[in-house]
């Protein structure tokens, strides 16, 4: 009987031991049924945090990657005179006299608040224009198409910018480009980001703020119930440091000085491959304004952080960024004058050296157009647009008078 009980006890004990052993050796090891991975892709270029000399990046072309300081602090950045071309693909056009005109900048940029958004309007240039890329930055003026956030890219003439911090000034540069991927020097403007409260324009003071789509649309023009952001955008860097300014009335009579190491007559005005003067600008032709590399390297050994040309057309300032040309390293911009009426317009060139005091040259750009004459013959209005037509008309009149004379006197 004792043996029987012992056997039963052992059976039960062995069973539980086995169960415990089996349970202990059973780690709940189902393999996971989901796996997540990251697919990574690196796109090099200015703004990637790496100074890539093989892409032409240096302290001038890409200060955010190669050092050289923020673009809004021009006096704190020692660097050398640019000697290498900018990144291939977005340099400007050849500026040498006899060269061909490159991609023209957009102009006539205006900005308006629209609720909590900003509408940007502009005029596209003629010629080899494919589209415009607008980038912005709260830290300074973007100096190349990869510098800053992209606000718009396309062939339209307006865009909405919907994301910003109220009260923050954003600096924008619009780079037009052609089919080959060549970019213009850039047109600069700025916006103090709108407050988030209701628009107070008298046109819609009872309206409710509307949130705009964040993506630019080309489907229809924006509504007009808005008010200007600023009639003339004051470049904020000007306010931080007062530049030396001197105006010149004639480019042929000035020389460089210690405070203005570059003279106005050292700036090249080029149209149709020929050098022209600011007083004889043909409004039907694009205008290239260029500063040769030899002038910059001699006058400003520390190099230029930024150069901007301001052209005031009928009260509206157009700010053109000058950028280095890959061919001859000149600083240049290409300006569309096709919509600019005949007249004299003030312009200024602001130089911001990497070290030292900024300086400004200013003058007047006199834009003329081909001779236009009108004459009325027998009540019919005729317009003559060149001297050959006028001479032809005079000859025709002489012939007519001669015929009359013969008719009277037989």
Partner 1 sequence: MFIKNTCTIIVCVGCVVAVMVATQAKADMHSANYAIPTDSINFGGGQSSSANYAQNSTFGEVATGRSSSANYALQAGYQQMLGASISISAASNVTLPTLSGLSVGTAVASSSWNVVTDDTAGYQLSIAAATAPALQDPAKAFFSDYVPSGGTTTPDYNFTTPNSTSNFGYSVYSPDATVMWKQNGSACNQTGGTNTLGHCWDGFSTAVQTIAQSSSDNQPTGATTTVTYEAGIGSNKLQDAGTYTATITVTAVAL
Q: According to the binding rule CB under 8 A, does residue 28 interact with partner 1?
A: yes
Stretch that binds partner 1, among 4-12, 321-329, 350-358, 387-395 (CB under 8 A): 4-12
Residues 6+ apart with CB under 8 A from 10: none
Query: Least distance from C-beta 173 to partner 1, angstroms?
Result: 14
Which x/- pattern, by CB under 8 A, does the window 59-78 give for partner 1?
A: --------------------
Q: According to the binding rule CB under 8 A, does residue 20 interact with partner 1?
A: no
Using CB under 8 A as the binding rule, the residues of this chain from 138 to 177 that contact partner 1 are 145-146, 149-150, 153, 177
What the block records as the tokens of 368 is 């003329």
Residue nearer to partner 1 on the CB measure, 55 or 101: 55
Stretch that binds partner 1, among 30-38, 201-209, 337-345, 366-374 (CB under 8 A): 30-38
d(CA 24, CA 92): 74
Q: Which of 67, 76, 78, 88 binds partner 1 (CB under 8 A)?
A: 88
Query: Least distance from C-beta 69 to partner 1, angstroms?
Result: 19
Task: Determine contact, residues 352/242, Cβ cutoff 8 Å.
Answer: no
Residues 6+ apart with CB under 8 A from 323: 86, 91, 92, 143, 144, 185, 186, 331, 332, 333
The CB density around residue 344, as the number of other CB atoms within 10 Å, is 14
Residue nearer to partner 1 on the CB measure, 154 or 195: 154
Using DSSP, state whether 388 is helix, strand or coil.
helix
d(CA 278, CA 173): 25
**Phi/psi of residue 88, nearest 5 degrees:** -60, 140
d(CA 72, CA 306): 10
Task: Determine contact, residues 258/357, Cβ cutoff 8 Å.
Answer: no
Picking from 330, 282, 333, the residue whose alpha carbon sits closest to that of residue 311 is 333
d(CA 84, CA 325): 10
Stretch that binds partner 1, among 31-39, 78-86, 117-125, 368-376 (CB under 8 A): 31-39
Residue nearer to partner 1 on the CB measure, 6 or 400: 6
Residues 6+ apart with CB under 8 A from 391: none
Task: Determine contact, residues 310/345, Cβ cutoff 8 Å.
Answer: no
Question: How big is the site for partner 1, counted in residues (CB under 8 A)?
Answer: 52
Using CB under 8 A as the binding rule, the residues of this chain from 111 to 140 that contact partner 1 are 130-131, 133
DSSP 251: G
Stretch that binds partner 1, among 9-17, 164-172, 233-241, 355-363 (CB under 8 A): 9-17
Task: Determine contact, residues 286/271, Cβ cutoff 8 Å.
Answer: yes
Picking from 333, 347, 386, 366, the residue whose alpha carbon sits closest to that of residue 104 is 333
Task: Determine contact, residues 175/91, Cβ cutoff 8 Å.
Answer: no
Query: Least distance from C-beta 18 to partner 1, angstroms?
Result: 4
Helices (H), 151-292: 236-240
Using DSSP, state whether 284 is helix, strand or coil.
coil
Q: Which of 1, 38, 215, 408 binds partner 1 (CB under 8 A)?
A: 38
d(CA 131, CA 105): 10
Query: Least distance from C-beta 324 to partner 1, angstroms?
Result: 17
Query: Least distance from C-beta 159 to partner 1, angstroms?
Result: 16
Q: Which of 1, 34, 314, 315 binds partner 1 (CB under 8 A)?
A: 34
Residue nearer to partner 1 on the CB measure, 3 or 388: 3
The CB density around residue 58, as the number of other CB atoms within 10 Å, is 23
Query: Least distance from C-beta 8 to partner 1, angstroms?
Result: 9
Q: Which of 1, 36, 197, 231 binds partner 1 (CB under 8 A)?
A: 36
Residue nearer to partner 1 on the CB measure, 150 or 395: 150
Q: Which of 30, 53, 407, 410 binds partner 1 (CB under 8 A)?
A: 30
Picking from 311, 298, 304, the residue whose alpha carbon sits closest to that of residue 359 is 304
Using CB under 8 A as the binding rule, the residues of this chain from 180 to 219 that contact partner 1 are 181
Query: Least distance from C-beta 181 to partner 1, angstroms?
Result: 7
Query: Least distance from C-beta 199 to partner 1, angstroms?
Result: 27
Stretch that binds partner 1, among 83-91, 99-107, 192-200, 370-378 (CB under 8 A): 83-91
- The binding site for partner 1 (CB under 8 A) comprises 3, 6-7, 10-11, 14-15, 18-19, 21-23, 25-48, 55, 87-90, 130-131, 133, 145-146, 149-150, 153, 177, 179, 181
């Amino acid at each position: 009987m004792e043996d029987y009980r012992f056997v039963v006890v052992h059976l039960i004990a062995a069973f539980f031991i086995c169960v415990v052993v089996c349970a202990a050796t059973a780690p709940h090891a189902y393999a996971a049924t989901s796996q997540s991975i990251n697919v990574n892709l690196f796109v090099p270029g200015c703004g990637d945090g790496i100074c890539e000399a093989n892409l032409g990046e240096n302290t001038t072309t890409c200060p955010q990657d190669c050092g050289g300081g923020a673009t809004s602090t021009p006096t704190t950045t020692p660097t050398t005179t640019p000697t290498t071309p900018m990144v291939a693909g977005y340099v400007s056009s050849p500026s040498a006299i006899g060269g061909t005109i490159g991609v023209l900048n957009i102009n006539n940029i205006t900005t308006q608040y629209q609720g909590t958004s900003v509408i940007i309007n502009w005029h596209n240039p003629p010629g080899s224009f494919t589209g415009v890329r607008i980038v912005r930055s709260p830290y300074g003026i973007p100096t190349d198409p990869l510098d800053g956030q992209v606000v718009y890219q396309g062939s339209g003439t307006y865009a909405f910018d919907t994301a910003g911090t109220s009260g923050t000034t954003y600096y924008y540069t619009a780079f037009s480009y052609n089919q080959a991927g060549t970019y213009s020097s850039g047109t600069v403007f700025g916006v103090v980001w709108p407050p988030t409260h209701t628009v107070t324009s008298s046109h819609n003071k009872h309206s409710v703020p509307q949130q705009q789509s964040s993506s630019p649309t080309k489907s229809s023009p924006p509504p007009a119930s808005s008010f200007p952001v600023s009639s003339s955008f004051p470049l904020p860097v000007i306010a931080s440091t007062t530049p030396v300014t001197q105006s010149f009335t004639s480019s042929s009579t000035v020389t460089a000085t210690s405070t203005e190491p570059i003279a106005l007559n050292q700036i090249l005005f080029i149209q149709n491959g020929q050098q022209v003067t600011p007083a004889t600008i043909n409004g039907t032709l694009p205008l290239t304004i260029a500063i040769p590399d030899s002038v910059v390297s001699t006058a400003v050994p520390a190099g230029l952080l930024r150069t901007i040309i301001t052209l005031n057309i009928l009260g509206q300032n157009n700010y053109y960024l000058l950028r280095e040309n890959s061919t001859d390293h000149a600083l240049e911009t290409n300006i569309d004058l096709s919509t600019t009426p005949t007249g004299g317009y003030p312009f200024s060139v602001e130089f911001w050296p990497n070290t030292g005091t900024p300086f400004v040259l200013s003058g007047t750009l006199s834009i003329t157009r081909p001779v236009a004459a009108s004459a009325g013959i027998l009540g019919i209005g005729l317009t003559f647009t060149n001297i050959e037509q006028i001479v032809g008309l005079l000859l025709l009149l002489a012939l007519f008078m001669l015929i009359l004379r013969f008719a009277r006197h037989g």
